[in-house]
């Protein structure tokens, strides 16, 4: 899968935060305006781990998944990340690394695909949650859609709270053209984009 593509090993995540869970819940707010300050590769690493990082030798992750089938796949649209060139990246969860899918700053194109929400392109990085429904439906049938959507909510809230602990802001965006986002990210045909989360400094 990664053959011939640029691979970026991510810094190891940390498991101690600066705020209590209660403080993070109290201060959680949706943010749609971001400063010009970039985010770091270490911050991107921490956010990815919070959303879908492996926390157990059996492969269990930071967010619950029906049947531990893990249908989610995360992508990073980087524009202003220190230590990471602009481009589209796929998060390889098992190895905690990024694989480049496309070079160049795609934030404006992503904002256009998100019903012209131009402010999206101001965020230094956007995380995209996608899913392969078949991983869940093979066990749960028609209930899979509900379970996958629940799982996106769990993972997105993890990223939200982790962003707060890093003094960053975010928001969940669900308004976009699915086909346009899938094409921009070069998603496999089985993957469906479900949510966008721009992240940046307040």
Between CA 199 and CA 123 the distance in angstroms is 6
* pLDDT tens for the 202 residues of the chain, in order: 445 689 999 999 999 899 999 999 999 999 899 999 999 999 999 999 999 999 999 999 999 999 999 999 999 999 999 999 999 999 999 999 999 999 999 999 999 999 999 999 999 999 999 999 999 999 999 999 999 999 999 999 999 999 999 999 999 999 999 999 999 999 999 999 999 999 999 9
Residues whose CB falls within 8 Å of the CB of residue 158, separated by 6 or more in sequence, listed in order = 50, 51, 62, 63
pLDDT at 31: 86
Between CA 121 and CA 116 the distance in angstroms is 10
CATH number for the domain whose boundaries are 7-201: 3.40.109.10
pLDDT at 129: 98
Between CA 61 and CA 158 the distance in angstroms is 11
Kindly state the tokens that stand for 166. 């890093």
Q: What's the pTM?
A: 0.94
Phi first, then psi, for residue 162 (nearest 5°) are -65, -40
Intra-chain end-to-end CA distance of the chain, in Å: 36
Q: Where are the domains of the chain?
A: 7-201
Q: Which residue has the tokens 């589209």?
A: 88
Between CA 196 and CA 178 the distance in angstroms is 11
pLDDT at 1: 44
pLDDT at 3: 52
Between CA 160 and CA 140 the distance in angstroms is 28
81: which strand partners? Answer: 39, 84
Q: How many C-beta neighbours within 10 Å does residue 102 have?
A: 14
Residues whose CB falls within 8 Å of the CB of residue 46, separated by 6 or more in sequence, listed in order = 13, 14, 162, 166
């Amino acid at each position: 899968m990664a053959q011939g593509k640029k691979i970026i090993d991510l810094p190891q995540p940390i498991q101690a935060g600066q705020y209590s869970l209660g403080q993070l819940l109290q201060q959680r707010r949706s943010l749609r305006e971001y400063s010009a300050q970039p985010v770091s590769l270490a911050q991107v690493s921490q956010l990815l781990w919070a959303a879908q990082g492996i926390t157990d030798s059996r492969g269990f992750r930071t967010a619950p998944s029906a049947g531990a089938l893990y249908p989610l796949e995360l992508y990073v649209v980087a524009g202003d990340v220190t230590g990471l060139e602009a481009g589209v990246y796929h998060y390889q969860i098992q190895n905690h690394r990024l694989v480049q899918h496309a070079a160049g700053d795609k934030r404006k194109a992503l904002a256009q695909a998100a019903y012209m929400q131009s402010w999206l392109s101001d965020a230094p990085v956007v995380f995209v949650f996608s899913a392969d429904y078949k991983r869940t439906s093979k066990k749960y049938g028609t209930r899979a859609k509900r379970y996958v959507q629940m799982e996106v909510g769990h993972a997105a809230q993890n990223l939200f709270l982790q962003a707060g602990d890093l003094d960053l802001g975010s928001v969940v965006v669900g308004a976009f053209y699915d086909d346009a986002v899938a094409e921009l990210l070069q998603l496999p045909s089985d993957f469906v984009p479900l949510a966008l989360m721009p992240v940046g400094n307040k």
